[in-house]
Amino acid sequence: MNFACNEDLCMFLSKLSYLSEGTQGKCFLDKKNNKVIKLFWSFFEGENSFLNKDEILRFSNLKNDTVIWPEEVIVVNGIVQGYVIDYVNVVDLFKVNPLNVDLDDFAKAILKAEEDIKFLTNNNVKMYDVTRNTLFNGKQLYIIDTLEYDYGKTTFEKNREGLDLEIKYFLVDGYFNWFVERNADLLDLYRRKENSGYDFLCAFREELRNYLKEDINTLGTAQALTRKRNIIKYNRDF
First-residue to last-residue Cα distance in the chain: 35
Tell me the C-alpha distance between 156 and 4, whole Å.
43
Class of residue 149 by CB neighbours under 10 A (exposed 0-12, middle 13-18, buried 19+): buried
Nearest Cα to Cα of residue 17 among 34, 29, 33, 27:
29
Give residue 230's pLDDT: 86
User: Is 180 strand, coil or helix?
Assistant: helix
Separation in Å, CA 36 to CA 26, 30, 178, 218? 10, 6, 40, 32
Instruction: Give a three-class secondary structure readout of 80-144.
Output: EEEEEEECCCCEEHHHCCHHHCCHHHHHHHHHHHHHHHHHHHHCCEECCCCCCCEEECCCCEEEC
Q: Within its chain, how far is the Cα of 195 from the centroid?
A: 19
Longest CA–CA separation in the chain, Å: 66
Which residues have CB under 8 Å from 180's CB, separation 6+? 172, 186, 187, 190, 204
Tell me the C-alpha distance between 225 and 143, whole Å.
31
Tell me the C-alpha distance between 198 and 129, whole Å.
19
Helices vs. strands in the chain: H and E counts, helices first = 8, 11
> In tens digits, what is the pLDDT along the chain, a chain of 238 residues?
999 999 999 999 999 999 988 888 999 999 999 999 999 999 999 888 888 999 999 999 999 999 999 999 999 999 999 999 999 989 999 999 999 999 999 999 999 999 999 999 999 999 999 999 999 999 999 999 999 999 999 999 999 999 999 999 999 999 999 999 999 999 999 999 999 999 999 999 999 999 999 999 999 999 999 998 888 999 999 8
Tell me the C-alpha distance between 80 and 103, whole Å.
42
